[in-house]
A and B are shown apart, each in its own frame.
Chain A
Amino acid sequence: MDTILKTEHLCKIYGTGNNLVNAVQDVNLSIEQGEFVTIVGKSGSGKSTLLHMLGGLDHPTSGSIFIRDQNLFQMKEEERAVFRRRKIGFVFQAFNLISSINVWENIVLPIGLDGRQVDEVFVEDIIKTLGIENKLHNLPNTLSGGQQQRVAIARAIASKPDIILADEPTGNLDSKTSDEVVGLLKMSVQKYGQTLIMITHDEDIAQIADRTIVIEDGKVVR
């Protein structure tokens, strides 16, 4: 009943004939609201493809994705774009911050693009939680990797999405900073009642999650 995200027989096939690759094969997932789930797998196991489809960034070859009973790929293209903007926050391995604008502008940019008012109290609370209140006027390039990832997390949470999708958010960070970033993600989603789906190849980090999904060769093995 409280399932926020569900996939049914999700498949993604690249190429044809001899070059055919089954990136994702018949994945059936069900993720509860408020859950922190990690998807663990080696590189090339299809976990990024899966996450991109969950976020509506990539089309499945077959199967469907439901977010709160709404079929993601039955929407019109522009509807899906608005849906993504409002319902899903992304955190990437490479941070994907805009280098020409400062930290604060990076954080509130998606809200502005959506034509919404910035809830300043809320955003300032996030910024304090993430410990970047002294970096707001800096340009992203002047920050360390860990700090940049904090900014990216703040940006993902600031637009109050239901689901945060994190694609190897600790891939570029040392182990202590990684622990901290995952701790922050967990703390934030707990605090703001969001659902977190995180991809990682680091099983040690996956322990922190409520549940771990292991994916091998495009199939969920446990």
Chain B
Amino acid sequence: MCGKMSSRTTKRKMIKQVAVSLLIFILFDAALIFIEYGNYKEKINLLSTVVSQEDTVKIVTGILKGESLDYSEGEAILKEYGFERNRDNVIYRRFWMQCGKIIGLSILLFGAEMILFLIITRKRESREITEIKQLEKIVSDYRKENFNDQIVSFRIFSNTELGRLYLEIEALGNTLQLLHKRMRAEKEETKSLVTDISHQLKTPVAALKTSFEILQNENLIKEEQMEFTERCNMQLRGIENLLSALVNISRMESGMITIRPEENYLFDTILEAVNRVYEKAMNKHISIELDADETVEELVVIHDPKWIAEAFINILENAIKYSPENTSITIRVMNMTTFLRMEIEDQGIGIPKEEYNKVFQRFFRGSLEEVKKESGSGVGLYLTREIINRHHGTIRVSAGKYGVGTVFTIQLPRA
């Protein structure tokens, strides 16, 4: 329908162009004929003037000097001889012939112009059609998820309407390609997640199996029995921990749980996270201090409270786990222009600089002895970064103020 409409408008435009040029020709011809008629009249008047006087030399020199013509008398004389003005005479016929030549010539010219015009339009149309066919091909390739067809550069970089259209279409293709890629990456991610999870589960389950097999041996003494029962218990708890972490990431990764950011008080979310880890902190006599402006209490930030609390809890639990007793954890909240900035600082063992980038990787465990001693799945910080990322925020790690402990800096967009 669109094509029809555009062809109708181009047709209308063409007709208009033809009509305008026809009008120009007619006006031009009329002007020429008018001039010719003036010429003819002047000739007749000259003859009339000359015929009315005896002394032709005098009259002619008078005319050449610019004296006004007095032709009324001569006109009458000529009439007597049967040559009436505008009637059949050679000069009048010549005038008509001249008119005929003008009209004939202009018809010829007009015809030539029309032919040229037609050829040019045809050519332009056929060029446009090839261009449009090219565009059609690109767009249909996009639909077939084939993004390899690159638009030739001169097309994009010609500063014409069509060039800009190419640019827009190419941009559309790029966006599609990006979406397509993200989809594929998600699929790949799920695949590698399954591999990772099965790998992570194999080791503790194998250990549990060994302990059980030993327990089944009836020759064990009571102490040994006690020891292996305790080991089984520990391994089971380890598996339990790992499982709940895995459930969290797999739900997140497979998109079963989508983050629903809504306007909520961030302060409530922080409190919720602190409450959840409070007992663990108490047991180690670690105090959690909040350092924030009073305005922060009233601050509404677009976030999903459940998942952001989860992110904070992971950081806080790490801080408690890797801090000695009788230390403190400080949560600083600052209101910036676009982001809300949060710093969570502990006085714990710290993270070696080489591991700054790695701590956020899935299943990464630190290389320090203190880390190896503690149980953990290497999932917490990975999940935290994932959650923050999906809120379009950032997280990074640095050393504490006096070189002691760790600071996690989180930025969340306020709106």
Q: Which of B143-186 contact A (CB under 8 A)?
A: 148, 150, 153-154, 156-157, 159, 164, 167, 171, 174-175, 177-178, 181-182
Q: CB distance B150 to A183 under 8 Å?
A: no
Task: Check A129/B356 contact, CB under 8 A, given A162-B174, A208-B396.
Answer: no
A47 within 8 A of B: no
B357 within 8 A of A: yes
CB distance from B26 to the nearest CB of A (A): 40
> Chain A 130-141, CB within 8 Å of chain B: the 1/0 string?
110000000000
CB distance from A96 to the nearest CB of B (A): 21
B interface size (C-beta, 8 A): 36
Q: CB distance A68 to B182 under 8 Å?
A: no
A79 within 8 A of B: yes
Please give, as numbers and ranges, the residues of chain A lying within 8 Å of B338 by CB-CB distance. 129-131, 180, 183-184, 187
Closest to A184 in B: B338
* CA–CA, A181 and B357, complex, Å: 20
Q: CB distance B413 to A2 under 8 Å?
A: no
Q: CB distance B341 to A208 under 8 Å?
A: no
Q: CB distance B334 to A176 under 8 Å?
A: yes
A-B residue pair count with CB separations less than 8 angstroms: 85
Q: CB distance A34 to B337 under 8 Å?
A: no
> Chain A 195-222, CB within 8 Å of chain B: the 1/0 string?
0000000011101100010000000000
CB distance from B73 to the nearest CB of A (A): 73
Closest to A160 in B: B171
Partner of B337 from the list A1, A180, A182, A205 (CB cut-off 8 Å) is A180
Main secondary structure of the interface of B (DSSP, over half): mixed
> Chain B 385-415, CB within 8 Å of chain A: the 1/0 string?
0000000111111100000000001010100
Please give, as numbers and ranges, the residues of chain B lying within 8 Å of A115 by CB-CB distance. 159
A62 within 8 A of B: no
B339 within 8 A of A: yes
Task: Check A33/B178 contact, CB under 8 A, given A83-B153, A131-B337.
Answer: yes
Q: CB distance B181 to A83 under 8 Å?
A: no
B336 within 8 A of A: yes
* CA–CA, A207 and B392, complex, Å: 15
Q: CB distance B178 to A34 under 8 Å?
A: yes
Q: CB distance B164 to A208 under 8 Å?
A: no
Task: Check A190/B334 contact, CB under 8 A, given A75-B153, A207-B356.
Answer: no
A118 within 8 A of B: no
* CA–CA, A129 and B338, complex, Å: 8
CB distance from A61 to the nearest CB of B (A): 24
Task: Check A193/B178 contact, CB under 8 A, given A86-B167, A183-B411.
Answer: yes
Q: CB distance A70 to B334 under 8 Å?
A: no
* CA–CA, A82 and B395, complex, Å: 37
Q: CB distance A2 to B150 under 8 Å?
A: no
Partner of A179 from the list B181, B341, B397 (CB cut-off 8 Å) is B341
Please give, as numbers and ranges, the residues of chain B lying within 8 Å of A205 by CB-CB distance. 396
* CA–CA, A214 and B164, complex, Å: 38
* CA–CA, A207 and B153, complex, Å: 36
Closest to B156 in A: A86
Interface residues, chain A, with chain B CB atoms under 8 Å away: 1-2, 32-34, 68-70, 75, 79, 82-83, 86, 115-116, 129-131, 146, 150, 160, 162, 176, 179-180, 182-184, 186-187, 190-191, 193, 203-205, 207-208, 212
> 8 nearest interchain CB pairs?
A207-B396, A82-B157, A183-B394, A183-B411, A187-B392, A208-B394, A131-B338, A131-B337
